[in-house]
Amino acid sequence: MTFKNSLKTAVKGLRANKSRSALTILGIVIGITSIILIMSLGKGAQELILNQVRGLGSATIIIEPGREAQGPSDFGSLFTDSLKDREVEALSKLSNAPGIEDLTPMVVLSTTVAFENEVDSFMILGASPLVAEIVDVYPEFGQFFTDEQVQQLSAVAVIGSEVKEKLFGPSEALNQNIKIKNKVFKVIGISPKKGQVGMLDVDNSIIVPYTTALKYLSGMNYYHQILVKAKSEQIVPQTVEDIKATLRELHNITDPKKDDFQVATQEDIAKRVGTVTSVLTIFLAAIAAISLVVGGIGIMNIMLVSVTERTREIGLRKALGATTKNILTQFLMESIILTLLGGLVGIILGISDSFIASLILTKALGSNWQFTISIQAILLGLGVSAFVGVVFGLYPAQQASKKSPIEALRYE
Amino acid sequence: MSLISVNNLEKTYNEGETETKALCGVSFNVPEGEFVAVMGPSGSGKSTLLHILGFLDRQTKGSYLFDGKELSEYTDNEVAKVRNEKMGFIFQSFNLLARTSVLENVKLPLLYSTTPQSKWNGLAKKAIEQVGLSHRVNHLTSQLSGGEKQRVAIARALINEPKIIFADEPTGNLDSKSGSDVMEIIEKLNNQGHTIILITHETYTAQYAQRIITLRDGKIETDENVKNRRKGKDDFLK
Q: What 3 state SS string does A207-236 have?
A: EEEHHHHHHHHHCCCCCCEEEEEECCCCCH
Residue B238 placed within a domain: no
Q: Is the pLDDT of residue B29 over 90?
A: yes
Mean pLDDT within B133-162:
92
Strands of B35-39's sheet in order across: B87-90, B164-168, B195-199, B35-39, B211-216, B219-225
Which pLDDT tens digit goes with each residue over A208-245? Answer: 999 999 999 988 889 999 999 999 888 999 999 999 99
pLDDT for position A304: 93
B95, A312: Cβ pair inside 8 Å? yes
pLDDT over 50 at A373, yes or no: yes
With an 8 Å Cβ cutoff, are A321 and B56 in contact?
no
3-state helix, strand and coil shares in percent for chain A, rounded to the nearest 5: 60, 15, 25
State the nearest Cα–Cα gap between B63 and chain A, in angstroms. Answer: 20
Q: Decide if B54 is inside a domain.
A: yes
Looking at the 3D structure of chain B, how many domains does it have? 1
* Domain carrying residue B100: 29-58+85-225
DSSP state of A203: G
Cα distance between residue B109 and residue A181, in whole Å: 92
Contact state of A12 with B80 under an 8 Å Cβ cutoff? no
In the predicted model, what is the mean pLDDT of residues A21-28?
89
Per-residue pLDDT, averaged over A338-346, amounts to: 93
Evaluate if residue A1 carries a pLDDT over 80. no
Are B108 and A2 inside 8 Å of each other by CB? no
Interchain contact A316–B (C-beta under 8 A): yes
> Residue ranges of the alpha helices (H) in A55-126?
85-92
Is the CB of A327 inside 8 Å of chain B's CB atoms? Answer: no
From A9, A317, A406, residue closest to B51, measured CB to CB: A406
Q: Which pLDDT band, with edges at 50, 70 and 90, does A155 fall under?
A: very high
Q: Which CATH number belongs to the domain containing residue B164 in this structure? A: 3.40.50.300
The type of residue at A301 is N
- Kindly report the three-state secondary structure assignment for every residue of chain B: CEEEEEEEEEEEEEECCEEEEEEEEEEEEEECCCEEEEECCCCCCHHHHHHHHCCCCCCCEEEEEECCEEHHHCCHHHHHHHHHHCEEEECCCCCCCCCCEHHHHHHHHHHCCCCCHHHHHHHHHHHHHHCCCHHHCCCEHHHCCHHHHHHHHHHHHHCCCCCEEEEECCCCCCCHHHHHHHHHHHHHHHHCCCEEEEECCCHHHHCCCCEEEEEECCEEEEEEECCCCCCCCCCCCC
Query: From CA A371, how far away is CA A356, in angstroms rounded?
Result: 9
pLDDT score for A68: 64
Give per-residue pLDDT as tens, A64-102. 888 765 555 555 455 678 888 888 888 888 888 888 999
Higher pLDDT, A106 or A270: A106
Residue contacts between A and B (CB atoms, under 8 Å): 64
Tally of CA atoms within 13 A in the half-sphere of B114 that contains its CB:
5
Mean pLDDT of B197-224: 92
CB environment B13-30: b (16+ within 10 A), e (fewer): eeeeeeeebbbbebebeb
Average of per-residue pLDDT values in chain B: 90
- The alpha-carbon gap from B229 to the nearest alpha carbon of chain A, in Å, equals 30
Find, in chain B, the residue whose alpha carbon is nearest to that of A412. B93
ipTM: 0.91
In a domain, B125, yes or no: yes
Q: Looking at residues B195-210, what average pLDDT do you find?
A: 92
Q: Are B56 and A317 an interchain contact pair (Cβ–Cβ within 8 Å)?
A: no
Give the confidence band of A412 by pLDDT, cuts at 50, 70, 90.
Answer: low
Tally the residues of chain B.
238
Mean pLDDT for A190-197 is 83
A151, A211 in Cβ contact below 8 A?
Answer: yes
- Greatest CA span in chain A, whole angstroms? 103
Of A2, A5, A313, the CB nearest to B97: A313
Task: Examine residue B119 and state whether it is found in any structural domain, yes or no.
Answer: yes
In a domain, B200, yes or no: yes
Contact A36, A382 (CB under 8 A): no
In a domain, B137, yes or no: yes
Q: Give, in order, the Cα–Cα distances in Å from A300 to each of A46, A392, A398.
A: 37, 5, 12
pLDDT at B236: 47
Chain centroid to CA B172: 13
pLDDT for A74? 56
Name which of A16, A312, A319 is nearest B56 (Cβ-Cβ): A319
Q: Is the pLDDT of residue A197 over 90?
A: no
How far, in Å, are A125, A183, A342, A372, B55 from residue A177 at the CA level?
A: 18, 10, 64, 46, 103
Band (A254; pLDDT cuts 50, 70, 90):
confident
Do A374 and A61 touch, CB atoms closer than 8 A?
no
In 10 A of CB B237, how many CB atoms?
A: 9
The sign of the dihedral angle between the CA atoms of A235, A240, A243, A245 is: negative
Q: Is the dihedral of CA A405, A411, B5, B11 positive or negative?
A: positive
Question: Does residue B231 belong to any structural domain of this protein?
Answer: no
What gap in Å lies between CA B183 and CA B190, rounded to an integer? 11
- More confidently predicted of A325 and A407: A325
Domain-located, residue B41: yes
Q: What is the pLDDT of residue B187?
A: 93
Question: What residues contact residue A308 under an 8 Å CB cut-off, 6+ apart?
Answer: none
Whether A111 has a pLDDT exceeding 50, the answer reads yes
Over 60: is that where the pLDDT of A181 sits? Answer: yes
Q: How far is CA B35 from the centre of its chain?
A: 11
Look at residue A195 and give its three-state secondary structure.
Answer: coil
Q: What is the mean pLDDT of residues A256-283?
A: 86
Strands (E), A4-89: 60-65
Separation between Cα atoms, residue A296 and residue A293, nearest integer Å: 5
| Centroid of chain to Cα A281 | 8
Rounded to two decimals, what is the model's pTM? 0.74
Examine the pLDDT at A2 and tell me if it is beyond 70: yes
User: Mean pLDDT across chain A, nearest whole number?
Assistant: 87
Q: What is the mean pLDDT of residues A134-161?
A: 90
**Mean per-residue pLDDT for A156-185?**
91
Q: Which residues of B139-155 are buried (b: 16+ CB within 10 A; e: fewer)?
A: ebbeebeebbbbbbbbb
pLDDT of amino acid A95 = 85
Residue A242 backbone phi and psi in degrees, to 5: -60, -40
Report the candidate in B92, B35, B90 with the shortest Cα–Cα distance to residue B229. Answer: B35
| pLDDT bucket at A377, cuts 50 / 70 / 90 | confident
**Is the pLDDT reported for residue B238 higher than 50?**
no
pLDDT of B164: 95
